[in-house]
Amino acid sequence: MSALDDVRARYRAGGLHGSLTPGRNPAIVVVDLQYGFTEAQYGPGFSLDDVVEATRSLLSVAREHEVPVWFTTIAFPTDGDGIGATWLTKMPALDGLRDGDRSVEIDERLEIRSNERLVVKQTASAFAYTDLAQQLRAAGVDTIFVAGATTSGCIRATIVDACAADIPAFVVRECVGDRERAPHDASLLDIDAKYGDVVSLDDALDFVRGLS
């Protein structure tokens, strides 16, 4: 048994690690796969090519089966820091992510479509100070599959808030990434134990295909 398996076993024995059941009206939420994160030339950026490619596969099948898609991007106003001043103090690398800059645009490899909604945020969570929860409910969404970056930051914050909003959330393992392996692995373990389910890309694709 690996060290992570041992932790999971102790969690289960302590009443953690329950399993969620996806509903029949899912959506895909792609968190912050904007150029500011997918290209290393930008302050917060790092190599996310594998994550982008896996997310392309997820989006392709979702679009084929008419599963709605939401994207998020971090963009601060050009004339100030908006509601994110404290976050910018902690992460000055984000300072260049300003309205109108290329860094806040969704990576073109994901081919965002005109009928897919974009939520602009200034906090880690896709739900904090946005109307994402209301949009999802208005569309009848009962489950979200989440992709994007970073696992220990915006992904984890989004899943915690999805749980608080009573929206079952599934993190697609191959579709999320982080700057370092340790926080990535620890965050997936913690999410899976307490707030959402971590699933493989194959399982997510099989579920979407099965909706037909």
Q: Which residues are catalytic?
A: 154
Axis-axis angle for helices 181-194, 156-164 (nearest 10): 10
Q: How many residues does the chain have?
A: 212
Q: How far is CA 148 from CA 27, 80, 121, 123, 151, in A?
A: 14, 26, 14, 15, 8
- C-alpha–C-alpha distance, residues 43 and 28, integer Å: 27
Q: 48 near 148, Cβ under 8 Å?
A: no
Task: Name the nearest CA neighbour of 187 among 150, 162, 161.
Answer: 150
